[in-house]
Amino acid sequence: MATERTLSIIKPDAVAKNVIGEIITRFEKAELKVVAAKMVHLSQEQAEGFYAEHKERPFFGDLVSFMTSGPVVVQVLEGDNAIAKNRELMGATNPKEADAGTIRADFASSIDANAVHGSDSPESAEREVSYFFGADEICPR
Ligand code: RTP
Ligand code: MG
């Protein structure tokens, strides 16, 4: 299986609930390694640019205002099949539909405040990792 990198964001609701460590533990137990990490309070411009693919969607304004409502933890996770593995650990976008034991089932409160983001394809992973991190900020392990 191919080693991949994916971008993870622990969203403002999960940071506010003080479950950063519990979420990172899920990644580590699944053999995903943190190879880059930072905490940031996104500006409107950063959040709009990050979610540009959704800019015509009716929920775009709510998404940007939620993502700028407090600090987030942005990380690059590395491991076998990291992109799909992270999406499995996260669970469905709407926590009401997320499988038991997933991060969103356990920590998310709504479809907006849904605890985590994860890249959804190799193309978005590449774009999203370089959106937040320069090559010199990633530490292969
Ligand atoms: P994310 O990008 O944050 O990892 O979430 P996702 O792939 O599971 O979902 P996506 O379709 O990319 O949507 C991005 C975020 O927008 C909010 N959303 N609201 N009200 C709605 O119908 C709706 N649909 C999406 C969610 O907060 C979702 O995480
Ligand atoms: Mg998405």
pLDDT, tens only, 22-59: 999 999 999 999 999 999 999 999 999 999 999 999 99
CA of 140 to the centre of ligand 1 (A): 29
Average predicted confidence (pLDDT) for the chain: 97
Q: Is 38 annotated as a binding residue?
A: no
Q: Which atom of ligand 1 is nearest to the CA of 53?
A: 12
Q: Is the pLDDT of residue 141 over 90?
A: no
Q: Is 29 annotated as a binding residue?
A: no
Tell me the ipTM for this assembly: 0.94
Pocket of ligand 1 (CB under 6 A): 54, 59, 63, 93, 111-112, 114, 117-118, 120
Residue 86's pLDDT is what? 98
Predicted confidence band of residue 1 (pLDDT cuts 50, 70, 90): confident
Take residue 6 and report the two structure tokens written for it.
């994916």
Q: How many CB atoms lie within 10 A of CB 31?
A: 12
Q: Please spell the DSSP secondary structure of 43-108, one letter per residue.
A: -HHHHHHHTGGGTTSTTHHHHHHHHTSS-EEEEEEEEETHHHHHHHHH--SSGGGSPTTSHHHHH-
